[in-house]
């Protein structure tokens, strides 16, 4: 049985490598231009070369996202950009604009194309149309149920693949095609600059009383009428696989390296456990608990089982739940001394309890007892961003392991 692909976001080169190391089968990333995540770090052309090489060396795939809806002024710069990247062995291009698709075809005749969710692909006739344009894989709009996905899979052209989001933020607009941000502050969501006004607080104003603002109160903190919970499908791996989806996609190119590692690792374990014994597969609550250790909103299954109701919205706050803090990234480890070289990411102090986890490993807990600076001088706390520390760990670790602590 061919395994479903676990597809992870890579907002920059570090996240790309971490996603691969923590179990992703493929990564998707944007360049410095023409991607719908202008706020992400994104990759320079040299970083794209390095990232693609890194993925291929590990037997993984790398997809470039170029899913803007281009305006006339974008065409010439995009042609110039294609000339710079056309010799990089990118596995597929995620596109939504037919003009962008045409330009890539002209510059890279043998390119593979995946249709971005921005194209709002919701039916098998649309799949047939896009197949005729050379699209191999469709990234479904988030507004489809399992029943619709199964029918689409049974009727779409042979050889065409389905990719679908399984984890991450939900857009209140139709699969991301939102004009609210552009209307309010002239930041175009369809060109990568969404300000997420759907998660702002709102009040009601009556036409004849323009200076009187009536709060539409849910509680004392305000009202969030367009504030969706985060999608989470880790406890529905069998349904995802049996629906015909070939690629399970994690949202979050603007998320932290800690987020990417944690989410990818949890889904990797759940997916592998299913394929190891499909008949006796049992979901483990610990996988879901891991997801809750990164910054998140409350969870929902989105449209997969039914159309969302008021229970899939969060009316109390648009803030994230942050129960754990990412405190350090292991850069090196000496097995003879048990000392790990750690790059600090948030403050940690002697006496605090920390959790340490890595690729393919469960976390372990220890009290922080021995911590030194780069020169071997003992320190009580590590308040300086990205300072290098020597930390005594109770179990073997390796480069890429992460430290976290509960708030």
Identify how many contiguous H helices and E strands the chain contains and give both numbers: 10, 21
Low-confidence winner among 127-141, 191-205, 272-286 (lowest mean pLDDT): 191-205
pLDDT per residue over 1-46, tens digit each? 689 999 999 999 999 999 999 999 999 999 987 865 555 568 999 9
Question: What pLDDT was estimated at residue 352?
Answer: 96
Q: Alpha helices, DSSP H only, in 122-256? A: 124-132, 146-155, 180-185, 237-242
What is the average per-residue pLDDT within 159-171?
Answer: 90
- pLDDT tens digits for 144-161? 999 999 999 999 999 999
In the numeric block, which tokens belong to residue 328? 């350090």
Inter-axis angle of helices 98-107 and 72-85, nearest 10 = 30
3-class SS at 83? helix
Q: What pLDDT sits at residue 34? A: 80
Identify the CA nearest to 139 among candidates 62, 247, 232. 247
Q: What is the pLDDT of residues 371-406, one digit of tens each?
A: 999 999 999 999 988 999 999 999 999 999 999 999
137 vs 204 pLDDT, higher one: 137
| CATH tag, 5-174+229-310 | 3.20.20.70
Distances (CA, A) of 66 to 30, 157, 182: 7, 24, 20
Helix (H, G, I), strand (E, B) or coil at 281: coil
The CA-based angle 140-146-149, given to 5 degrees, is 45
The fourth-level CATH superfamily of domain 324-406 is Translation factors (2.40.30.10)
Please check whether residue 344 is in contact with residue 325, taking contact to mean a CB–CB distance below 8 angstroms.
no
pLDDT digits (tens, 9 = 90+) for 217-274: 555 445 566 677 889 999 999 999 999 999 999 998 888 999 999 999 999 999 999 9
Task: Judge contact between 338 and 359, C-beta under 8 A.
Answer: no
Residue position matching structure tokens 């020597």: 390
| pLDDT class of 299 with cuts at 50, 70, 90 | confident
Distance from C-alpha of 175 to C-alpha of 113, rounded to nearest angstrom: 19
What are the start and end residues of each CATH 3.20.20.70 domain in the chain?
5-174+229-310
Q: Which residues of the chain does CATH 2.40.30.10 include?
A: 324-406
Q: Is the pLDDT of residue 329 over 60?
A: yes
- Can you give the pLDDT at residue 314? 58
Tell me the percentage of the chain whose pLDDT exceeds 90: 68
Per DSSP, the three-state class of 270 is helix
pLDDT of residue 88: 97
Q: To the nearest whole number, what is the mean pLDDT of the chain?
A: 89
Give 202's pLDDT tier (boundaries 50, 70, 90).
confident
Average pLDDT over every residue of 348-373: 95
- Please, what is the angle between helix 13-21 and helix 257-276, to 10°? 20
The residue that leads in pLDDT, 171 or 151, is: 151
């Amino acid at each position: 049985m061919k395994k479903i692909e676990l597809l992870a976001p890579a907002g920059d080169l570090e996240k790309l490598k971490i996603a691969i190391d923590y179990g992703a089968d493929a990564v998707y990333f944007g360049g410095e231009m023409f991607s719908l995540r202008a706020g992400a770090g994104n990759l320079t052309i040299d970083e794209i070369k390095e990232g693609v090489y890194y993925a291929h060396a590990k037997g993984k795939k790398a997809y470039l996202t170029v899913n803007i809806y281009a305006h006339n002024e974008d065409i010439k710069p995009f042609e110039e950009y294609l000339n710079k990247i056309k010799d990089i062995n990118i596995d597929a291009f995620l596109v939504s604009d037919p003009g962008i698709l045409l330009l890539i075809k002209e510059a890279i005749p043998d390119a593979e194309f995946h249709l971005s969710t921005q194209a709002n692909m919701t039916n098998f006739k649309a799949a047939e149309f896009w197949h005729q344009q050379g699209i191999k894989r469709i990234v479904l709009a988030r507004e489809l149920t399992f029943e619709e996905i199964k029918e689409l899979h049974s009727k779409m052209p042979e050889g065409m693949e389905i990719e679908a989001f399984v984890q991450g933020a939900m857009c209140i607009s139709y699969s991301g095609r939102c004009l609210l941000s552009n209307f309010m502050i002239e930041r175009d969501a369809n060109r990568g600059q969404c300000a997420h006004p759907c998660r702002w607080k709102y009040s009601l104003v009556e036409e004849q009383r323009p200076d009187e603002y009536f709060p539409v109160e849910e509680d004392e903190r305000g009202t969030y009428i367009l504030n969706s919970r985060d999608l989470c499908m880790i406890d529905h791996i069998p349904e995802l696989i049996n629906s015909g989806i070939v690629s399970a996609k994690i949202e979050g190119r603007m998320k932290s390296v800690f987020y990417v590692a944690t989410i990818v690792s949890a889904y990797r374990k759940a997916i592998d456990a299913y394929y190891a014994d499909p008949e006796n597969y049992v979901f483990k609550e610990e996988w879901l608990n891991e997801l809750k250790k990164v910054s998140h909103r409350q969870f929902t299954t989105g449209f997969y089982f039914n159309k969302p109701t008021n229970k899939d919205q969060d009316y109390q706050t648009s803030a994230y739940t942050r129960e754990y803090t990412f405190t350090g990234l292991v850069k090196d480890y000496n097995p003879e001394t048990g000392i790990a070289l750690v790059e600090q990411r948030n403050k940690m102090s002697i006496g605090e309890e920390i959790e340490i986890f890595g690729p393919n490993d469960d976390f372990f807990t220890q009290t922080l007892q021995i911590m030194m600076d780069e020169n071997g001088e003992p320190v009580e706390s590590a308040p300086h961003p990205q300072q290098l520390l020597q930390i005594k760990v109770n179990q073997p670790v390796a480069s890429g392991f992460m430290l976290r602590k509960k708030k």
